[in-house]
Structures are given as structure tokens and as C-alpha cells.
Chain A
Amino acid sequence: MQRIGAFVCWCGSNIAGTVDIDAVTKSAADEPGVVYSAEYQYMCSEGGQLAIRRAVEEHGLTGIAVCACSPRMHETTFRKTAAAAGLNPYMVEIANIREHCSWIHKNRESATEKATILMRAAIAKLNLNKPLFPGESGVVKRALVIGGGIAGIQTALDIADAGYEVDIVEKSPTIGGRMAQLDKTFPTLDCSACILTPKMVDAAQHDNISLYTYSEVDEVSGYVGSFSVKIRQKARSVNRELCNGCGDCITKCPVKKANSEFDEGLSKRSAIYVPFAQAVPNIPVVDRENCTRFKTGKCGLCEKICGTKAIDFEQQDEIIEREYGVIIVATGFKPLSPERYGEYLYGQSPDVLTSLEFERMMNAAGPTGGVLKRLSNNEKPKSIVFIQCVGSRADAKKGKTYCSKICCMYTAKHAMLVKEKYPDIDVHVFYIDVRTPGKNFDEFYRRAAEQYDVNYIKGMVGKLADEDGRLRVIASDLLDGKQITIDADLVVLATAVEASPDVRALGTMLTASMDQNNFFTEAHPKLRPVESPTAGIFLSGVCQGPKDIPETVAQAGAAAVKALGILSKNKLIGNPCIAESNELLCNGCSCCENVCPYGAIEYTEKEINDHGNRNNRRVAQVNEAICQGCGACTVACPSGSMDLKGFTNRQIMAEVDAICRT
């Protein structure tokens, strides 16, 4: 039997103003298990806490029921008080008679009655409380960053600089990501490569960073502090140790017709290739789908020319198994393919480009050497139309419901770059709204519109028509409500930022939740923007939602700091209010395992001693370090063997009974 002390707080006049404290305190004394009841002006104050500690000592209390404000406010305070009094901190229950009672009711009589009932429910629950002990688990002092774009690189550098080891897993043959494809960045018109490549080199040369390029995450298990991950390092067909990056193999390769991913298919590359000149690591990859050797077994020129004997056609995928304390997701985005919008003639006319293709074309190292031309006839365009919000701010059936955030700015950048290089080209921009929140962003846009004479038209483009080699843009001008047509030589579509759909599989592997657009969900939209709700998983960059480069870098740093918060600990203290299986009752049906969102339930074959009757049975076991204590399994369990510590079936039933008692 418990020896319970009930403590009723006035909270000044906050509670005492509406609730008859005396009546609640007196009625508490009559509740089962209660041996002491008292009231105090401010229970959370030093004096209030001291009164609790004294009462525990004098009356030999085993549990404390506090009738005060919300447990979200002071539960931790009173748990500490209990611990200081020598009790288990989980022998505390709180009746919320302020937020849920005195503050919302004016009638003193009914407020007092309700407060009494809430107190009764807390005491009924407390009678069934048991001491709980949080589990401890160790921390592997190593971080995994998935994705080697600017977000991943920045996170990795920040963690590595703090003295912890980091592995970057990148699926393409080089790190650098989308930022490497950009020509200039807004709003400063910095050269993207000039600011990115030094960071790529820093990451590659950092003592604490290991790069796994051309690699993917195959399997993830474990939990915060101790994730085990299988990384598949895909066969490059080139020995990484032997290759010196001379590039002779690339020049010799007779296949020259493979589409360059880096140039968005606007240029061709050989079958053995590095994606771009500043690739890190500068080690070629054999694209086995296009390589003659792999297709017909005949060729092998690269093998012959290689001075260091680095070419290895027999190379197999390699699986690397590693343990990590934390995982940071930095999987970035891909631009939405506008092929689904037939009205824009993308894929039908070579003169309709996406913004990223246009970006490559403007780049001095790009497919045209930085010369702007029409791909249909290699002539210089006289008029360019930019169409914004292609796939963004659409209804869910047609595209993405969200604003992609960066398109207004990069379109202004593109328009400005064109005007800078070719002042004689007419530039028109169709927009729905121009959104420029950001430091120096609006100034940048206004510069494009005012100084560079870019023609901004508020309106929607209905369709494009191919008129004798020119593109006729038919649109409505929303400001004067008229239909307009513009003949363009080049049309550039500002396509929506889209999370690549294949990250969903990764999300499932990590048990990190994602939204309907395949962006990772943050633990709290305002207060925990870089943490996933799953402990130990952090979010960096566009994988969480559309962002520009400075925001991405800021978030990458924030994710690193949050990750370091775990890496710097030697032990993690868990939440003891987690599920627990009664092996005697468990029949091994797997219902709990199927509903667990964290994969915290495992089954083991075990000898069960059921009142002297020994037999081997398959029973559920809860991994204490993984379980987050939602309780989904407790309700799914048909045999009643699963229960949630701190919120047991009996405790909740007791609360229900106490409330319904008349």
C-alpha cells in the first residue's frame, strides 16, 4: 500500500481565486492511500518544495500527488523534488487544476468539484505507480552524413572540426551536389564553383572525414547512440588506391555518346568518366550500362592505357558495415521534370529548357562553353521568356502545392546574367507573385527589373506553340486582363524543387517521418527544425523543405550542433515510460511488432516457465533504447501482455474510474 501525500497549490490567486483549496485538501485526505495532505501558496517555490521534502521524511511518504499547474510546466520540478527527498522521481503525479480548471471556469462551486475529481484521478493513478528507472545506453562517437551536397559537406565539416569522425555517403561519383552545377549564386552573383570547390577539398582532406562516393545506404538498424548501417560502395571498376586521376582512360574511351548527368543531358561524356573537372574524389567511374566492354566484352582500351593498372572490370560492390551514434540526412532535391506539362513543349522543342539546364548553358565549363544559343539551330536567341512556378503552387494533382522558394531569385539571376552578357536580348519573365524575402533579395530583384530592363509580366502562360521555328508564348496578363503573345527563341521553365521520390525508402529505413511531398518532417516546426522526430536522426538542407544556399548552410551547421550534443555525451539517459511485455501472457502473434513505428519490438525464442510448466515459446521483447513509449503496441496486443510503464492499463482505468465515480 502506498503512503501518499497530496499537495494542493494556490498558485497565488490563479487557482485559489476560483477553487476552494481547503475543500480540495480536505477531500484529498479521504482518498485511498493518502496519509497526508497540505496546501501551500506556491508549491513550485523553494518553500513549497521544502514542505514536500519535509512531509516525505516526517510521514514516510512513498508517493506525491501535486494539484497545481500543467505537468508540462512543472512535472520535472516535482520529480526533482521527489528525488531530493529520496523517492523515485516517477512516484509523482500531477493534477492539472490550473490550465484545465481554475483558469477556464468562473463558477467556484463547479471548479472546486472538478478540481477534487482531477485530484482524485491523480491519486488513483499514483496508487498504482511503481518506481521507474531510465535505461542508459552508450554513444558511438561517429556520425554518418547521407548526401554530399553543400548541406552534407557543411554538416560533416562542422562535426569533424569539433573532433568527431564523420563518414559522408554520396550516391553519385563525386561530392558537391546541386551547388556544383550552378554557375552563379544570388544575390551576390558569386561564382558557385569558386565558393564550393574549396569546401569539397576541405572535406576530402579532413582527417576526421571519410568519403564514400558512388555509395548508398543499404540497411539501417539500431537507435540513437548506436545505429548500425550497411553502406553499399558500388563497383567503380577503378581501383581507388591505384588511380592517380591522370584522365588518360577518359580520353581513350571510344564511347562518347553517354548523356552527361552533370550537364543535365545537354552534353555527352565517355563511358569511363568523372562528372566534372573539379570532382572530389578525382577518380573515374565506369558506367557499365554504356561501356562496350560490359556490353560486348570486347574493348578494354582504358585498361590498356592505364599506367597504374587501376582499371578493374571484375570489381564488385562492397558492403561496409559501420556503427554510428547519429545520422544526418542531407539528401537534397531534384528539379521536377516538366515533361508532364505538355503545354510547355518541354522535350518536344529543344529550345525549351529547365532552369538547371539553362544554368549549365550559362556556365563557362558547360555544354556550350557559356555561349547562349538555341539548341535547335545554334543561333543566338533574340528573345527569351522565363516562366516561373512550373509545378510549384499548383494543386496536388498537377504538381506541388508548396512554393519552391528559390525560383523567383534564380530567375532574376538568370535574367540579369543574360542582360549582362547580351544586352540586346529581350528578356521576359512570367510570374504569379515575385517572392523575395531574404537579405538583399528584393534589391536584387528590383535591380533586374529596373536597371537591367527585364520585362516582368504578372501572368500565367497558357501554352507554347511552335511557329516556324520560333516559340509563340500565349499568356494572359493579369494586370490588364488581356491575352498577350510573345515570340521567343528560348523558353526557360523555373521547375519546382522536388524531393527525390527514392528518399522515401531511406526514410522508412531510418523510421524518420516524411510528409506527402517526400520531405523529411522536423520534430517541431518552430522549435526543433533540424531534428527528425526519431531520436538521433537530424535533417540538413533541402531534404526538409525548399531552401536557398545560405539557409541550407545555416541549417547544416545547426544539424551538426544538435548531432554534437549527442556525440559529446558518454551515456544517453532514456525515457523510462516505455512498453514492457509480460512474457507469461505473450503468445508471439506479432501484432505489436507490426504497429511499432520504431521497430523496437523483437521476437526471441525463449524457455518460459509458466507455473512449473516449461516450454519454448516465441515471445516479444521491447528494446528499451529504441522504444519511444507511444503505446500503440499496448492496444494492439490481443493477449494483454503489452503494457506501457507510467501509463499502464490499470493506471488509466483507475483514472477513468475515479473521474466517473459519483
Chain B
Amino acid sequence: MQDLVKEKPFKPLVVSFCCNWCSYAGADLAGSSRLEYPAEVKIIRIPCSCRVDPLFVLRAFQRGADGVIINGCHPGDCHYSTGNYYTRRRMAMLFSMLDFIGIEKERTRLEWVSAAEGARFASVMNEFVGELREMGENKRLGDIRCKE
């Protein structure tokens, strides 16, 4: 049984929200620089990190995601001046409540990645997925009614 688990490594499902101006471009740069990161990461493009409703994060967990990462411009560099500050506050609030809801807050992350930081984008994704692999499957919030 143990051997079987080892043969089939756990592949976490990761939803990554990227703002159009900085981190999505950073992810593009990681791509054009051919910097590898795990295929488990799936990117959703949004105009600004402040477009991420905490409900999107919860929805992802409810639907079986093992980790959610939100990427925005560095503080002070937001294309819309202040969007990432809102994100920072909203996510601080959401993350602090995750344990209460029944989900490890380590499954979420908020990162600042600029359009010039392809290498940083890849390393953040590698690190995050690495951590999620150790944590294992997200069983607690996954709603069986949502599984098709």
C-alpha cells in the first residue's frame, strides 16, 4: 500500500489568480524564458488583484482545489494605484478566517510579482506547489456535493 502511494505522487490542484499588468506578464516572461514550474498551476487572468473576491477563493476550495495563490503588482506599483492594497487587506481577513472554516491557511498565498520577475514567478510557484505536495490533499472543505 505504501509503495503504491509512492508510485503515484500527489498532484495538488492549484488555482493562480494573476493580475493582467504585473503578474500575468511575469508568468508570460517565465514562459518565454522557459522557466519550469509544475503543471498543477492553472492561471486565471484578472484585470487587478483587487478583482479577486474572497468568494472565488472559497469556491475553488469548495470545488476541490488544494491551493489558491493570488498574484498582484508590488505595493505602490498597482496599475490602478491602490488595487493591491485592497487585496492585501481583504486576503489578510480571509486567510485569518480559513482555519475557522476548516482549511489550513497555508493553502493560500498572496504574492507580489512584477512584469519583470519571470524567475520570481516560477520560483514562487515551485515553492508553493512543493509545500502543497507535503500538505497533501485538501479534504476538509471539498464539498462532495460539488464533485461531479
Contact = CB atoms under 8 A, between A and B. Distances in A.
Interface string B19-46: 0100011011011101111010011111
B79 interface: yes
B46 A652 contact: yes
Contacts of A515: 76
Interface in B106-148: 122, 147-148
A100 B80 contact: no
A632 B46 CA distance: 11
Contacts of A626: none
A635 B39 contact: no
Contacts of A70: 24, 28, 31
Contact of B39 (A110, A644, A649, A656): A110
B146 to A, nearest CB: 8
B96 interface: no
**Most central of A521, A652, A662 by chain B CB within 10 Å:** A652
A630 B50 contact: yes
Contact of A114 (B42, B50, B80): B42
Contacts of A662: 13, 64, 147-148
A105 interface: yes
Contacts of A577: 47
A632 B55 CA distance: 14
Given A103-B31, A656-B56, A533 B63 contact: no
Nearest to B80: A630
Contact of B31 (A104, A110, A111, A656): A104
A660 interface: yes
A630 B27 contact: no
Contact of A104 (B30, B45, B65): B30
A71 interface: yes
B52 interface: yes
Given A104-B30, A656-B59, A71 B148 contact: no
Contacts of B25: 72
Interface in B57-83: 59-60, 63-65, 76, 79-83
Nearest to A575: B47
A630 B28 contact: no
Contacts of B103: none
B11 to A, nearest CB: 8
Nearest to B142: A660
A100 B43 contact: yes
A644 B47 contact: yes
A-B pairs, top 5 by smallest CB distance, nearest first, are A99-B31, A631-B51, A660-B63, A630-B80, A513-B81
Interface of A: 70-73, 96, 98-101, 103-107, 110-111, 113-114, 117-118, 121, 511, 513, 515-516, 521, 533-534, 577, 595, 597-598, 628-632, 634-636, 644, 647, 649, 652-653, 655-657, 659-662
Interface of B: 13, 15, 20, 24-25, 27-28, 30-32, 34-37, 39, 42-48, 50-56, 59-60, 63-65, 76, 79-83, 86, 90, 122, 147-148
6 contacts: A105-B36, A118-B42, A533-B81, A595-B50, A632-B83, A647-B46
